[in-house]
Structure 1
Amino acid sequence: MTELERVPPGVDPAVPSSARVYDYLLGGKDHVAVDRAVAEKLLAVAPDARRVARANRRFQVEVVRHLAERGIRQFIDLGTGIPTSPSIHETVRAVSPACRVVYVDHDPVVRLHAQVLLADSPGIAGIQADLRRPPDIFADPHVSGLIDFDQPLCVLMVGVLHYVMDEEDPAGIVAAFRKRMVPGGALVISHVMAESAPEALAQLDLATAGSPAQARFRTREEVLDLLDGFELIGPGLVPVQDWRVGPAEEGLPLLDGPPRLRVDGGVGVLRA
């Protein structure tokens, strides 16, 4: 007899979660069978997807370290995903212990992790909210208590905007955060690109259609439009494995040629 898999409270075992699929690709443990099935279907046509996921994570860590070194002391991470070390707060607080971080995700598994990991962490909070509703995020007492919108702020939308369909107005979501930011603040985006291998995109579409993990693959021009109003720094909008502002670090996930699942990343600083 097969042992039934334990499913966390609030999780529908028949519906894949983008956060848990990503966790599986990163080698984590917080996923259920439906998430693994989606990931394995992707890996069958894009075997480099695990390396791309690790490169995306490295991009995020390198970017927040760089921005903390530039003087930014507050960060909102939208679509946080399952906690992975080094975390955003570990990274930026290694630069300055004064850094404050708010993690935002609508997945109940992410919320459970945040409750455990951040319970005794002053200056760091995790909230369950949907980035599609920016007013709810701004109104949350954890956000208003930690984030001073009159000071430079970094907003991270790493690996999340491709889950926002066109009719949900991704440009409007970005604009809502941009309007709350002051010059010197930064927006960090990474996005699955329409320039990926067609069979990889087709498999993702087939495996996630109608679920919260369904993605909208955008072109380079469409992603650049989402960064309107921000001045790109570093190498610009490039594949995440190629984004860096300093020398390459040892142990980075190297890719042999262009990945079949392409994820581009960019960092924009708000102009005055």
Structure 2
Amino acid sequence: MGVEFELSGPTHPRVLDALLHEYPENKDNYGVDREVTAKLDARAPMFKAGVRAGRAFLLRAARELAEHGANQFVVIGCGYARDTNVHSVTRAVAPQARTVYLDSGAIVAVHGRAMLDRDSQFIEADPNDPAAILSAIDYRRSGVTGLDTTEPIALVFGSLMLERLDDPGRVIAELVDALPSGYLVATHIRADVEAATAKTAATVYAQHGLTLRPRTGGEIGALLGGVELLAPGLVVAGDWLPDQDTVPEVGGPRCCWGAVGTWGGVR
């Protein structure tokens, strides 16, 4: 996807950036992207809070895995770099942890490479293509610093990534089948919880030429069928392993759910 095309209208990474950023009018998104988020705020006011809860869950889950021994992470559909990222939260507890970020798009690639340090890297690859993902992350095949695919790898799907993929079940299944062991960290917008929020958000995205596919709990469970979900299973993103000194927010967003799975005998 060329730069001119990316600038011709809103894009998923920039809309996500505007949703996550406390002050959306920043250099990483444009007026066309903020137009989408303004409509989401007006018509689906809980959606932004749900997306933010999902992002917080991804970081919390990655840190939890690092605390229990995981030291290889790949973020699929990473979007724009943020102040706090998977590599920063995991290395805070596991200094040896390495992270590869994957996404497609020329502008995302520029931002991704700008955020790198010696223990993380950005590689441009299509999140719809499991073969391209595997080739990109395997240091023996890519010819660059990468991950050891013979050892456990945590697959972290970026916020709203599964809702964008053409066939997320196939992507997950092929990655899990190809890698001997690892973890899966994912969020998804529920179509059957806060259904009005999910339906309206999908409509707003579609009106701007973007794809957002909320799914029911059963459909999400089917996507994750190739892994064993760790306790507490598929739950509201804000409720998954909350900090011990906090209580899940009563009346908080419930449209975004999260889960952590495992395969290949790792726990």
Could you say which TM-score interval applies, normalised by the shorter chain? 0.7 to 0.9
Question: Which residue in 2 is equivalent to 1:86?
Answer: 84
Name structure 2 gaps, 5 residues minimum. Answer: none
Shift of 1:48: 2.8
Alignment equivalent of 1:179, drawn from 160, 177, 180: 177
How many corresponding residue pairs? Answer: 255
Q: Is contact 1:51-1:255 (8 Å) kept? A: no
Deviation sequence 1:60-97 (CA, Å, 0-9, x none): 11101110111111001001011122211111111122
Percent identity over paired residues: 31
Distance 1:66 1:141, change over 3 A: closer
2:16 aligned partner: 22
**Is 1:163 matched up with 2:164?**
yes
1:149 matched to 2:149? The reply is yes
- The residue type paired with residue 183 of structure 2 is A
User: What aligned pairs does 1:95-106 form with structure 2 within 5 A after superposition?
Assistant: 95-106=93-104
TM-score by length of 1: 0.84
Post-superposition Cα deviations, 1:133-177, rounded to whole Å, max 9, x if no partner, equal 11112223775441111111100113210112xxx3221110111
Task: Indicate the residue corresponding to 1:140 in structure 2.
Answer: 136
Q: Select the residue among 110, 118, 124 that pairs with 1:122.
A: 118
Aligned twin of 1:230? 227
Q: Which moved more, 1:146-155 or 1:32-41?
A: 32-41
Unpaired stretches in structure 1, ≥5 consecutive residues? 1-7
Structure 2 contact 50–256 (Cα < 8 Å) conserved = yes
SS, match of residue 257 in structure 2: strand
Give 2:251's match in structure 1, choosing from 254, 257, 268: 257
Conserved in 2, the CA contact under 8 Å of 1:105 and 1:111?
Answer: yes
1:268 aligns with 261
Instruction: State the partner residue of 1:4.
Output: none
Shift of 1:123: 2.8
Tell me how far 1:12 sits from its aligned partner: 3.2
Aligned partners of 2:36 and 2:208 also within 8 Å: no
| TM-score, normalising length: structure 2 | 0.86
| Distance in 2 separating the partners of 1:157 and 1:190 | 7
Name the stretch that deviates more: 19-28 or 147-156: 19-28
Work out the CA distance in 2 between the residues paired with 1:76 and 1:194.
27
The offset of 1:213, in angstroms, is 2.9
* Separation (CA, whole Å) in 2 of partners of 1:228 and 1:76: 20
Whether contact under 8 Å (2:40, 2:201) holds in the other structure is: yes
Q: Is the 8 A contact 2:62 2:86 kept in 1?
A: yes
CA distance in 1, matches of 2:6, 2:176: 34
The letter for the 2-side match of 1:207 is V
SS in 2 for 1:162: coil
**Candidates 189, 193, 209, aligned match of 1:192:** 189
